[in-house]
Every structure is written in structure tokens, then in C-alpha cells.
Chain A
Amino acid sequence: MTWLSNETVDRLRDVATRPSLPGDRYVILRPLGRGGMGAVYAARDTELARDVAIKVSNAATPTSGLEERLKQEAHVLARLEHPGIVPVHDAGVLEDGRVFYVMKLVHGETLEQHARTLATEAARLGVFERIAETVAFAHAAGVVHRDLTPSNVMAGRFGEVLVLDWGVAKLVGAAASAVPRRVPGPASAGHTDAGTRIGTPGFMAPEQASGAAAEAGPPADVFALGALLFWLLTGDTPPPDAPAVVSRLRSISPPPSRRLRAIVAKCLSPEPGARYADAGALVDDLARYRQGAPVAAHRETWLEAAALWLGRYRTFILLIVAYLVMRAVLALWGRP
């Protein structure tokens, strides 16, 4: 019997499931990763002379729903044209029935790796805002991601931030009714079975964790964004109770401002109705925070409001004060 080394066994496991793509346009170069839903390969698009990534569903049974889910992901990505979302170039079915789609090959690192290079709160907030803006765009297009985690975000070589893995995304509102009927499936158009748990522990909204994934709307993504922001600030996933969230944020050095803590806490509210309605509302509040304006997440005392006002119009106030001082000096100088 032929003896196979460990290396050969691993290679055979890989090559035996490598996709054989129709035609000779794409040449598989190497595997990039494998998960429960499928495998991703780096490939060469010989027609356009560029490298691409090809995601192929697992060779599963026709009833497993994986093929439909991958088709769903391709359709979701195709409708979301945004710098923070990987564009889809092509899609189809292999001769063995597996579904594939071709997308841009992302060169970069996951947020988990990238976060280590972000030394300041401002840098972390900058990256977070780009994630939130991408999700806000998806929400505006009627798409809920439902699995936002640090490993589902990549930072590119030129500072671009990309939100990946839309395989369990859900279409809501008008977008759901616009889905082609040939693309049903567990994750599409809000047809997730009752009792299904979708998401990643630590980043999953309570309504998802309790198995009501079908009811998870934009506020579920807002919760995950809050967990991501908490993770970016502390390096940990958020504790399950709200007071512990705030006290953990207070414990880091330097501690985030009260207003930023309130924004995180609002995102992480157990009740979906107490969170921001969608990522767009969160982005707006973050912009107000950055500009020093009052935020929706926190009701300021009059003292805080005054300090904010002073901070916001500091330059203008300083100019007026300088002008008044100068007038006073000139008046004194000119006195006989």
C-alpha cells in the first residue's frame, strides 16, 4: 500500500476539493481559508490579468442550504456597491453542483491584527467610524449583516476598511420583496427559521442569542457595532450587563469620555428599542461626538453643556476675548 506522509495527506485533502472552474478564465493559485460554508481560493483572472478571490460552497447535500446561502451572499454583495464592501465580479455553478462567486482579492489584515497598530483612541474611533459607515450604507439598502465581529473586518494596505462575510445577511423592508424568487434560503428576505441562532457569541445581540434570529433587524447590527467599539477600546468582548460595560470602560487608561461611554452603552442596550435605530443614527452621533456637539446617547448637565459650548467655539471665543483685551489695552494706552 502506498505510504502517504502527513504533508501529502493534507495536500490531497486540499486538491481533492479544489474547484474546477468552467472555461479557462480563472486559474486557482492557492487556498486562502476554509469554513463551514465554503472555501476561499486566490486565483488568477487570465482575461483581465489580475488576481481575484473565489469563494466556493462546500460539497454538501442539496438540502443543506449552503449553496443558497452562498448565492444569497453573492446577491447581497452585488447590490451593495460601497468602498467598504468587497465587489463581486462573477458567479456561477461548478460542474459538481457547488456554487461559486468571484470577488476582489483583499490584501491586508483582519481587524484583530490591525487593532494592535492603533495606538490612540482617535485612531481606533477613526477605523470604527468607517466600519459603522459601511454598515449604515447596508442598512440604508435594506441589508442587515447579523455577524459583525473583528474577524469579519479587514484593513487593507492603503487604509481601506472592508466589512466581509455577508453569508448570513438578511434583507429587510423593500429590499426583501425585491429579492429574486429563485434565491430563497435561510438567510434571505427574512426567512430564517424561528429558533435559529445566527451570530458570534460576544458580538451577538440578545435577540439573536435567544434564537430569534429571524427578528433581528438593524438594531442587532448596532449591538454588534457597540461590541466592536467596546472591543476596540478595551480589547475584550463586552460583559452581559450594562453597568459592568460602563465600569469596564472607566477602568481603562486613559478612560474614554462620559459621552463616548454613553454611546457604547446605548449600542449595547439589551432592548433593541433602546439602541440606535440603525447604524446611520450611530454614525450621526459619532460625528456629533467628534465635533464636540451634544450626542443623543447622553443628556448633559448645564455645566457639561457650557463646557462643550466653550470647547466647540473655543477659537471664536478666544478671538473675541483677544479683541476685547486689545481694545482695553489701547484704551488705557491712549488715556492722558
Chain B
Amino acid sequence: MRYASRVIPFPATHRSVLERIQSEDAGVRRIAFGDLAEAYWRPSYHYLRLHWRLAPEATEDAVQAFFTAAFEKGYVEKYDASKARFRTFLRLCLDRFVQNLQKAESAGKRGGGAAKLSLDFPGAERELVEVKSADLRDVDRFFRDETIRALFSRSVDHLRRVCESEGKPKIFAVFERHDLAPALETSYATVARDLQLTVAQVTNYLHAARKRFREIALTHLHDLVASEEEFRAEARELFGLDVGPHGAAPRNGERGE
């Protein structure tokens, strides 16, 4: 047996979005809100379209108004980590915000004039075709899944930028062909042939890309949680891990052969 003592690497501790939002520096706060909106606007859009059944234009207005109000009225500062995960808190804020918005609209009052975020709403609308298949009975799960989708999308974009900036576009190309958009008969050999690499190179590039992707995803995740405890819980969920009090073990076996 080849055992050795090793420490599992986690993203380096740095100031998360939630910490930066509470900064005295207005510039830091503004950037932190931008990061928050970037991470959550798309799940919010899909959530309002499908769960609240708002029309596309009304959803765009609501998402814009929500993140603006969150910045101006200090929603995030009211977050209490002992009561719920930040993602759940944000969804509940969004629910309350839409309820109030609908009440205000029925009373003839409408907000307006707030600075608008630059968001790709037509893109988010196109994505609804896929999102529509989700089970909406568990709204917390739906919002979590959409948050994960947004997190992975940002991580993929980040990985692409990193590979390009480091002069290693082939690493991303292998990752894209094999893991992101594989054709029906994709294998290490076909990827190697298409990209004029050896199979060994494909294996190594893929390993490097996957490892980097995981690190990037965990770093983004770390940025969006309030505590290390929440980070660990979210990281377990993110990669499908479900650690119970003593851990139910997975099976070794191929069924029904």
C-alpha cells in the first residue's frame, strides 16, 4: 500500500464578495456588487420567468431593479449566516422584492431612473428552453441548480481566458472537445487526431484542464459564501458529494449485467 500524508488544497483564503460589500470604500463595494450581480442575475432571471411566471420585459426590469435596490438599500448587509445559506437568503429577498414590486404596480407606483446593469437578457431568455425542463416544485433546488450552472459557465470562461493568457489554448481546446461539447464518438484518440496531438498529450491536457477548472470553480464559489463552513458544504454539493454523519459509502459494482 502506498500511503503518504498529504493536505488537500483548497482555494487560498481571500476577501469574499460578502466581505467586500461591507467595505467602507464605495469603489470596493461597487465592484463587489458587480460580482454579486454577475453570479446571480442569470439564476434570478430564470427563477422569475419560470417560478413567478413574469413576462420577459417585466423580468428584465425586476432583475435590474432588484440588484440596484440590493446595492442601494443594503440587503446583503442584513444577511445572517446562522439562519440560512446566502443563496437561500438571496432568493427569499428576491421573492419579497417581487411581491412588493407587484403591490406597488397595482397601486400605480413604479420605480425608475435607476442605473442599469449591462446584462444579456436575450441570451438568458434563449436558455429558458433548457431550463424549462427543471422541476419547479422544489424552488430552492431549482435556484441552487441555476446558481451552479452560472458558476460553471463563469468558470469555463475563466478557464478559457487563463489558457489563452498563458499561451496554452490547446489545453482549453481539448477540454472543450472532450468535456464541454463532445460529439457522439468522441474519444482521446479522436480528439488527438482532430487537434494533431498524441493521445498522451490529450490525457495530460485534459487532466490539467479539469484540475484547473475545479480550482477555478471552487475559487468562484469561495467568493460567494459567507463562511468556510458554508464553503465546504457548498463544495460538497457542487461536486455531488453528500457527507452524512458517518458517510454512506458508494457501491462497487455494475448492475444487471
- Tell me the A residues contacting B by CB distance below 8 Å: 1-6, 8-9, 11-18, 20, 22, 24, 32-40, 42, 53, 55, 58-62, 64, 66, 69, 71, 73-75, 78, 86, 90-93, 95-99, 101, 103-110, 113, 151, 154, 157, 164-165, 167-168, 182, 186-187, 196-198
Interface check B12, CB cutoff 8 A? no
Closest chain B CB from A106 CB (angstroms): 4
Interface check B167, CB cutoff 8 A? no
Chain B interface size band reads: 35 or more
Nearest A residue to B217 via CB reads A16
Q: List B221-246 residues whose CB lies under 8 Å from chain A.
A: 232, 235-236, 238-246
- Bound-state CA distance A130–B207 (Å) is 42
- Bound-state CA distance A164–B249 (Å) is 9
Given contacts A5-B130, A113-B255, A92 and B249 within 8 Å (CB-CB): no
- Tell me the B residues contacting A by CB distance below 8 Å: 1-4, 6-10, 42, 120, 123, 126-127, 130, 133-134, 145, 148-150, 152-154, 156-157, 160, 179-181, 203, 207, 210-211, 213-214, 217, 232, 235-236, 238-257
CB contact between B250 and one of A33, A66, A78, A105 (< 8 Å): that residue: A33
- Bound-state CA distance A99–B2 (Å) is 10
Chain A residues with CB below 8 A from B7, complex form:
62, 97
Given contacts A1-B123, A198-B246, A40 and B252 within 8 Å (CB-CB): yes
CB contact between B130 and one of A6, A37, A40 (< 8 Å): that residue: A6
Chain B residues with CB below 8 A from A1, complex form:
42, 120, 123, 150, 153-154, 157
Closest chain A CB from B255 CB (angstroms): 5
Given contacts A3-B153, A20-B211, A93-B6, A108 and B253 within 8 Å (CB-CB): yes
CB contact between A15 and one of B123, B179, B246, B249 (< 8 Å): that residue: B179
Q: Is A157 within 8 A of B257, CB to CB?
A: yes
CB contact between B8 and one of A16, A38, A97, A101 (< 8 Å): that residue: A97
Closest chain B CB from A193 CB (angstroms): 10
Chain B residues with CB below 8 A from A42, complex form:
254
- Bound-state CA distance A108–B42 (Å) is 44
Q: Is A91 within 8 A of B250, CB to CB?
A: no
- Bound-state CA distance A168–B134 (Å) is 36
- Bound-state CA distance A53–B252 (Å) is 6
Given contacts A1-B153, A66-B247, A58 and B252 within 8 Å (CB-CB): no
Nearest A residue to B211 via CB reads A20
CB contact between B243 and one of A58, A97, A154 (< 8 Å): that residue: A58
Q: Which 5 A-B pairs have the closest CB atoms?
A: A36-B247, A37-B247, A92-B2, A97-B6, A33-B250
Nearest B residue to A196 via CB reads B246
CB contact between A96 and one of B8, B126, B257 (< 8 Å): that residue: B8
Chain B residues with CB below 8 A from A96, complex form:
6, 8-9, 211
Given contacts A13-B238, A16-B217, A62 and B8 within 8 Å (CB-CB): yes
Q: Is B248 within 8 A of A105, CB to CB?
A: no
Closest chain B CB from A254 CB (angstroms): 30
Chain A residues with CB below 8 A from B248, complex form:
35-37
25 contacts between A and B (CB under 8 A): A2-B156, A2-B157, A2-B160, A6-B134, A16-B214, A17-B239, A20-B207, A24-B203, A32-B252, A34-B240, A36-B244, A37-B247, A58-B243, A60-B232, A66-B243, A75-B1, A90-B1, A96-B6, A99-B3, A103-B252, A104-B252, A108-B257, A110-B251, A110-B253, A164-B249
Given contacts A16-B217, A60-B8, A97-B7, A151 and B211 within 8 Å (CB-CB): no
Q: Is B250 within 8 A of A35, CB to CB?
A: yes
Closest chain B CB from A87 CB (angstroms): 11
Nearest B residue to A106 via CB reads B253
Q: Is B251 within 8 A of A109, CB to CB?
A: no
Chain B residues with CB below 8 A from A32, complex form:
250-254
Q: Is A71 within 8 A of B257, CB to CB?
A: no
- Bound-state CA distance A186–B203 (Å) is 37
- Bound-state CA distance A33–B232 (Å) is 21
Given contacts A55-B252, A62-B7, 14 further A-B contacts (CB under 8 A): A3-B127, A6-B134, A6-B149, A12-B156, A13-B148, A17-B240, A32-B254, A35-B248, A35-B251, A36-B249, A108-B254, A157-B257, A168-B246, A186-B246
Chain A residues with CB below 8 A from B180, complex form:
2, 4, 8, 12
Chain A residues with CB below 8 A from B241, complex form:
17, 34, 36, 58-60
- Bound-state CA distance A36–B240 (Å) is 9
- Bound-state CA distance A154–B242 (Å) is 23
Q: Is A93 within 8 A of B4, CB to CB?
A: yes
Nearest B residue to A59 via CB reads B8
Chain A residues with CB below 8 A from B255, complex form:
108-110, 113
Q: Is B246 within 8 A of A164, CB to CB?
A: no
Which among A4, A5, A91 has the highest number of chain B CB atoms within 10 Å? Answer: A4
Q: Is B239 within 8 A of A37, CB to CB?
A: no
- Bound-state CA distance A196–B246 (Å) is 8
Q: Is A13 within 8 A of B239, CB to CB?
A: yes
Chain B residues with CB below 8 A from A90, complex form:
1-2
- Bound-state CA distance A238–B4 (Å) is 44
- Bound-state CA distance A113–B251 (Å) is 14
Q: Is B250 within 8 A of A16, CB to CB?
A: no
Nearest B residue to A52 via CB reads B252
Q: Is B181 within 8 A of A8, CB to CB?
A: yes
